[in-house]
Amino acid sequence: MKFIYFTVVLILSSLTNISFAQDCSQVIESNDAMQFNMKEMRVSADCQNLTITLKHVGNLPQQFMGHNWVLSATENMMPITGVSMQAGAPNYLPESDERIIAATDMIGGGQESSVTFDLSSLDPSKDYTYFCTFPAHYAIMKGSFIIE
Asked whether the beta carbons of 119 and 43 are under 8 A apart, the reply is yes
| Spatial distance between the Cα atoms of 62 and 52, rounded to a whole number of angstroms | 19
Q: Tell me whether residue 129 or residue 147 sits nearer to Zn ion (CB atom).
A: 129
Applying CB under 5 A, the site for Zn ion has a residue count of 5
Contact pick of 137, 138, 142, 147 for Zn ion (by CB under 5 A): 137
Q: Which of residues 56-95 bind Zn ion (CB under 5 A)?
A: 67
Q: Which stretch binds Zn ion (CB under 5 A): 2-10, 44-52, 95-103, 131-139?
A: 131-139
> Minimum distance from CB of 12 to Zn ion (Å)?
40
Sequence-ordered alpha helix ranges (H) in the chain: 2-23, 62-65, 77-87
> Minimum distance from CB of 135 to Zn ion (Å)?
9
> Which residues lie below 8 Å from residue 41, measured CB to CB, with a gap of 6+?
26, 28, 52, 130, 143, 144, 145, 146
Rg (CA), the chain: 18
132 is a site residue for Zn ion (CB under 5 A): yes
134 is a site residue for Zn ion (CB under 5 A): yes
142 is a site residue for Zn ion (CB under 5 A): no
Q: Tell me whether residue 55 or residue 137 sits nearer to Zn ion (CB atom).
A: 137
Sequence length of the chain is 148
Q: Which stretch binds Zn ion (CB under 5 A): 48-56, 86-94, 105-113, 128-136?
A: 128-136
> Minimum distance from CB of 130 to Zn ion (Å)?
12
Sheet order of strands, 70-73 included: 40-43, 142-147, 128-131, 70-73, 102-103
Residue ranges that bind Zn ion, judged by CB under 5 A: 67, 132, 134, 137, 141
